Amino acid sequence: MRGCRVWGRLWGGCGQTPGVHAAAKGFGTEARHHQQPRGSSRQSGPLRDQPFPGLLQPENLSRPLVTLNKPQGLPVTGKPGELTLLSVLPELSQSLGLGEQELQVVRAPGKETSGLVLLSSCPQTASRLQKFFSHSRRTQRPTATYCAVTDGIPATTEGKIQAALKLEHTDGVNLAVPVKPPSRKDILEGVKRTLSHFRVMATGSGCALVQLQPLTVFPSQLQVHMVLQLCPVLGDHTYSARVGTVLGQRFLLPAESTKPRKQVLDEALLRHLHLTPSQAAQLPLHLHLHCLHLPGARPMAAPIEFLAPLPSYFSRTLQCLGLHQP
């Protein structure tokens, strides 16, 4: 499983393998680590898809953290016997020489989303990181940055997307459906108020490269939020059907009565992408967990960024559409 990296020493040590390097098969390119100077407000750019020039060994790390760059289409969990992220963790632990220490998933994108996976072999570290992520959500501080290519360009270059969402079981699939406005009863019955930040990084050929930072956690939140902006994520074969077009004007169709179907792209966009309609129907979701922000090893230490390069198909799409970071 290529693309696996291990860091030791985070908030003290319970691991025995500081500085371990690993080569794990099947996970594509390597995640990258970047330590940002304290007090810096620099936004990490989403367009870094260069090979990682060796494995860094950050100083002051002692509890093993493992990062993977997960391919699109690999689920985190599944039925017994299916290939999932969890199903490969025992083999990965053995290949890293962790012995009896079991790897736990701390953070991972969903099945159709590619990008950074954060694992830990220390239960205390995993628990502290989960508490950190929960606290960050409560204080509305983003810890994850996603990159997306959208079919359409948002009306504003940046802003917040807020929506109350619920899950509805339709034709054997759980779909996220907006609720407007939610009542107290709705909230008690599982409706959740969701929030994301977005920022348009580049535009071209009627599409946009968008940076997304979710401040809440809900299944398919980012896909639905971009549909509400009338700009579905490229390769979204679940929610893009909710955006209709009449005489070139886009509008939202009722989510409750709109069934998932393969995304339909206009002829001009197909030409830019050099795809046939049948090929476009197999296009992977262009949503990638690019960066995770973690606290430093000590209270006053600089924050840590873990970066995962873009998949090759994502980079190809950017090139075809002329989307380049300003």
- The mean per-residue pLDDT over the stretch 203-229 comes to 97
pTM score, whole prediction: 0.84
Position 233 pLDDT exceeds 80: yes
- Angle (CA) 68 196 149, round 5°: 60
Q: Check if the beta carbon of residue 208 is closer than 8 Å to that of residue 200.
A: yes
Give residue 49's pLDDT: 38
DSSP, residue by residue, 155-171: SSSEEEEEEEEEEEEET
Question: What average pLDDT does range 301-316 have in this prediction?
Answer: 91
**Pure H helices in 150-245:** 184-188, 221-228
Mean pLDDT of the chain: 82
Which residue matches tokens 């709109």?
Answer: 258
Give the confidence band of 187 by pLDDT, cuts at 50, 70, 90. confident
**What percent of the chain has pLDDT above 70?**
80
The pLDDT tens digits of the residues spanning 119-176 come to: 999 888 889 899 999 999 999 999 999 999 999 999 999 999 999 999 998 888 899 9
**pLDDT single digits (tens) 40-65:** 333 444 444 333 222 223 333 345 78
234 CB contacts (<8 Å, ≥6 apart)? 148, 149, 150, 151, 207, 263, 283, 285, 286, 317
Residue 3, pLDDT score:
55
177 falls in which pLDDT band (50, 70, 90)?
very high
pLDDT of 37 higher than 80: no
The vertex-303 CA angle with 162 and 62, nearest 5°, equals 125
pLDDT attached to residue 257: 87
pLDDT band at 4 (very low <50, low <70, confident <90, very high): low
pLDDT value at position 16?
Answer: 38
Question: Given a cut of 70, is residue 25 above it in pLDDT?
Answer: no
* E runs forming strands in the chain: 5-7, 32-35, 65-70, 104-107, 114-120, 144-151, 158-170, 173-179, 192-204, 207-214, 243-246, 249-252, 287-294, 304-307
User: How would residue 19 be classed by pLDDT, with cut points 50, 70 and 90?
Assistant: very low
**Secondary structure letter of residue 220 according to DSSP:** T
Residue 72's closest CA among 238, 275, 311?
311
Nearest to 179 by CA among 75, 116, 256, 237: 256
Q: Dihedral of CA 67/73/78/80: which sign?
A: negative
Residue 196 predicted with pLDDT over 90: yes
Q: Give the model's confidence band at 11: pLDDT under 50 very low, under 70 low, under 90 confident, else very high.
A: very low
Any residues with CB less than 8 A from the CB of 158 and at least 6 apart, and which? Answer: 197, 198, 199, 200
On whether the CB atoms of residues 255 and 227 are closer than 8 A, the answer is no
